[in-house]
Amino acid sequence: MTKNDLFLRAARGESVERTPVWLMRQAGRILPEYRALRGQLSGFKELVETPALASEVTIQPVDALDVDAAIIFSDILVVPDAMGLPYEMVEARGPLFPNVIKTAADVDRLSIPDPEDKLGYVLEALRITKKALNGRVPLIGFAGAPWTLLAYMVEGHGSKTFSKARGLLYTDPKLAHALLAKITATTIAYLQAQVAAGAQVVQVFDSWAGTLPPAHYREFSSRYISEICEALAPLVPVTVFAKGAWFAVEDFAAMPCRTIGLDWTEDPAAVRRAAPGKTLQGNLDPCALYGTPEQVRDATEAMLRQFAGGPHIANLGHGVYPDTNPERVKVFVQTVKGFRG
Judged by the rule CB under 6 A, the positions of this chain that interact with ligand CP3 are 24-29, 38, 44, 71, 73, 75-77, 89, 94-95, 142, 158, 205, 207, 319
Q: Give the CA distances from residue 72 to residues 8, 229, 257, 293, 294, in Å, rounded to whole numbers and listed in that order.
A: 15, 19, 20, 28, 31
- Least Å distance, CB 71 to ligand CP3, is 5
Say which DSSP state 245 is in.
Answer: -
Separation CA 246–CA 260 (nearest Å): 11
Q: Which is nearer to ligand CP3, 115 or 319 (CB)?
A: 319
Active-site pick, 87, 152, 190, 217: 152
Q: Give the CA distances from residue 51 to residues 40, 81, 125, in Å, rounded to whole numbers and listed in that order.
A: 16, 17, 4
Q: Is 9 a catalytic residue?
A: no
Q: Which is nearer to ligand CP3, 145 or 299 (CB)?
A: 145
- Least Å distance, CB 42 to ligand CP3, is 12
Separation CA 114–CA 300 (nearest Å): 42
Active-site pick, 9, 12, 18, 25: 25
For strands 70-71 and 88-90, give the pairing: unpaired
The SS3 call for residue 232 is helix
Say which DSSP state 21 is in.
Answer: B
Burial 296-333 (b: 16+ CB within 10 A, else e): bbebbeebbebbeeebbbbbbbbbbeeebebebbbbbb
Q: Which is nearer to ligand CP3, 38 or 223 (CB)?
A: 38
Decide: 31 and 60 in contact? Cβ < 8 Å.
Answer: yes
Active-site pick, 38, 136, 218, 223: 38
Q: Is 38 a catalytic residue?
A: yes
- Least Å distance, CB 50 to ligand CP3, is 13
Cβ neighbours of residue 137 closer than 8 Å, sequence gap 6 or more: 4, 7, 62, 67, 68, 69, 70
Separation CA 68–CA 61 (nearest Å): 10
Decide: 144 and 79 in contact? Cβ < 8 Å.
Answer: yes
Q: Is 29 a catalytic residue?
A: yes
Active-site pick, 9, 18, 66, 75: 75
- Least Å distance, CB 264 to ligand CP3, is 13
**Burial status of residue 230 (CB atoms within 10 A of its CB: 0-12, 13-18, 19 or more):** middle
Q: Which is nearer to ligand CP3, 293 or 326 (CB)?
A: 326
- Least Å distance, CB 157 to ligand CP3, is 9
Three-state SS for 62-90 is: HHHHCCCCEECCCCCCHHHHHHCCCCEEE
- Least Å distance, CB 35 to ligand CP3, is 8
Backbone angles phi, psi at 328, to 5 degrees: -70, -35
- Least Å distance, CB 111 to ligand CP3, is 21
Q: Is 297 a catalytic residue?
A: no
Q: Is 75 a catalytic residue?
A: yes
Which active-site residues does the annotation give?
Answer: 25, 29, 38, 75, 152
